[in-house]
Amino acid sequence: MKIMMQKSAQTLPDIPDDRDASGMDAAHAADDASAVDDAALVRAAQADPVAFGQLYQAYRDRVYWYLLARTGHAEDAADLTQQVFLTALDALAQYNPRKGPFVAWLFGGARHAATNFRQRNRQTVAWEYVTGEAAVATAQSLEDAVVRQESLDQLVRLCAALDPARQELLALRFVGGLTSAEIAAVMGKSEAATKRQLSRIVQTLKEHYHDIHEA
């Protein structure tokens, strides 16, 4: 859990608009989380709620993608994204950086919203939502595209077969782009346990993937 603040710039950092065509990597902006001075943005928003817009710009896509993974429906994910950020704005004064990083607090709200949605709609992580367009678009050849498509489809099925708790861990890590420490803060577990669980899930998927191809 990251509690202390990290300086990245003397002034409020520019928040890049990562919604460009190649912006898929923004899902993994957590890897560069230190580049975004959350603490400064949060303080600014706590002082002036209008500044919350910068936090929205910084996190809307990651939250939306995570909710897309949890709901499987673009419209539902958009509705929940709206709900999460409006709730976060209302509750921002209660956020205490000593209790964890802002991103974990925000995703905690997203997780809560998604869980409520799932209970209402009896859904789990909707890995099957995804299409193969991305794999095809990045393939070197038609054959390559087919192979990648089959591999990813296989993985989609394996992910869908995991229990909901493990699916959620994968969604937070790979789709939401949270680090293990941030996921630990969201889930209320130790970072080590979170890391171990993620590693174990990857191992399980690997073994099952191998089993399928050996069969």
* Window 167-206: residues binding other proteins (CB under 8 A): 170, 173-175, 177, 179-181, 187-193, 195-200, 202-203, 205-206
Q: Per CB under 8 A, does 12 bind other proteins?
A: yes
d(CA 10, CA 170): 35
Tokens of 7: 């300086």
Among 123, 132, 146, 157, binds other proteins (CB under 8 A): 132
Q: Per CB under 8 A, does 156 bind other proteins?
A: yes
d(CA 107, CA 29): 14
Tokens of 205: 């998927």
d(CA 164, CA 194): 15
**Residues touching other proteins, count (CB under 8 A):** 91
Q: Per CB under 8 A, does 146 bind other proteins?
A: no
Residues from 100 through 129 that contact other proteins (CB under 8 A): 127, 129
Q: Per CB under 8 A, does 95 bind other proteins?
A: no
Among 15, 145, 146, 152, binds other proteins (CB under 8 A): 152
The window from 38-46, 107-115, 116-124 that contacts other proteins (CB under 8 A) reads 38-46
CB-CB neighbours of 140 under 10 Å:
8
Q: Are 197 and 204 in contact (CB under 8 A)?
A: no
Q: Per CB under 8 A, does 162 bind other proteins?
A: no
d(CA 13, CA 64): 22
Q: Per CB under 8 A, does 157 bind other proteins?
A: no
- Burial level of 133, CB count in 10 A (0-12/13-18/19+)? exposed
Among 33, 36, 58, 69, binds other proteins (CB under 8 A): 69
Q: Shortest distance, CB of residue 67 to other proteins, whole angstroms?
A: 10
Among 15, 46, 95, 118, binds other proteins (CB under 8 A): 46
d(CA 6, CA 169): 25
Q: Per CB under 8 A, does 89 bind other proteins?
A: yes
